[in-house]
Structure 1
Amino acid sequence: MKRTAATLFILSLATTGCSDDVASTGLSVQAVSASDSSATADLGMTDDGGSDYALEAATLNLRDIELDLPEGTTCADVEGSFGGGATCEDSDDLNDDSPESKIVIDGPFEVDLVAGTATPSLDGVQIPVSTYTRIDFRVEDNPDDVSFAGVAGFQYQGDEMTLEFSFDFNEDIRIEDPAGISVDEDTDLVAQFVVDNWLAGIDVGACIDDGDVDVSGATVRVDESSTGGDCSDIEDTIKDNMKNSGQLDR
């Protein structure tokens, strides 16, 4: 069950045509490996104790998604290239020399990061082909008070174990590329979350040894009420590692 490949979550914006004048792209979310971008690639993580983990499931609950258009681009400039739930919002003052507008995709969405699906589906969402420097995700909890959750398999003292984590937070995730990523009708815009370092700063085996995490049978549970001692900050560590691991690509 050990996995050594660096892994990332990928937000892939597949290109489609929308109008005769302005091209557009569609939106999908999936998990891939940094060394193998196929959807069937293993998803691996390693903690500070040297244990390797195979990510088996992960969900992220989003209230909305925002994509900044290039400075000086207004909604009128990209009219006809967004739809299927995506809208365009201009800056408050279009008389500025460089007005800032953005594409907004309202949720909520429950994204299955491993399966590459969302509920409701994002298949019909269309955004403009452009140069993007920033994507913002607003994370919020679902009716079960879960914002982000995952399941990963690993070995502990020779036994097969399962790590389950479930977190409740309402925060923004911002992914930026100052130089910008340009996409056209033949390329996709990709927001990547590099997953191999999500357990950096954590030694799950030591937490088990010290009794600082909840262990039930072969399952280790990590949430706001199941950790203590030196492992009481696991939730914040995983959350911050995830939020800081994003990058834009195509």
Structure 2
Amino acid sequence: MTKIVAELFGVPALYHLDTLHHYSSFIGPTLPQVAMLVNATRRPDFIGPNAGMRYGVFESKGRTHHSNDPLRVSAKEQTAMINTINGLDPICRIACITSFGNRQMTVDVVDPTDYHKDAFSMKTENADLKEPFRLTQQLFHENVTHEKIVQHSKFKMVKLEAADLEFGLRQDIYETLEFGSNTDMEAQLKKRGRKESIVYPDSLISRLSVVEDGKEAVASDGHFVRVGPSWERWMRSTDAQS
């Protein structure tokens, strides 16, 4: 859900801070260990760039029951732990809290008004901009792949039998991932973050309504997913309960 919310702010891809730090030295030799605050806050989960390579800050939380005020406060304070990115204020600080109850999913989106007094600043010039696509790259390396035309674009695909999913990535993004430079990936992110590239969702289910049979969708970062029969049964049971 945080990914979908980020797209509403023109951010096509999210970078997990811990994973980014593992692959690059984008804050220096060590990532600051933010002191625990009264509400057990720490650094946020994600950052992500828009078409102008300005970054937003995002925190993602999930609960099996309804969210509560302390959780919202904690999530908001985590997004406030970054002051500036590349010398600029974040374009947004968003905490996305997904909870389940009464057979429905609820998403709370909250934003702090300012950064925390102990917030740190960071730079991304050494960041691995391919990081959000590394798992997809690994899937392609470890499985038999095929090509498919979706919405007039070529995709590299893999069938995930255990998950009953067909998963893919736009061919041009895949080629950038495999053979391009960090600058090439930055150009892809700028392209994906432009307003005309963002599909603003009316709802989560609307993600599956782009094509005739309602079983597949393409995200703004170029990823593709198509659900199999087991997911169709779940979707029908969900419709029956709503």
> TM-score normalized by structure 1?
0.24
Structure whose residues are more often strand by fraction:
1
Structure showing greater relative contact order (alpha-carbon pairs closer than 8 Å, 6 or more residues apart): 1
Structure number with bigger Rg: 1
> TM-score normalized by structure 2?
0.25
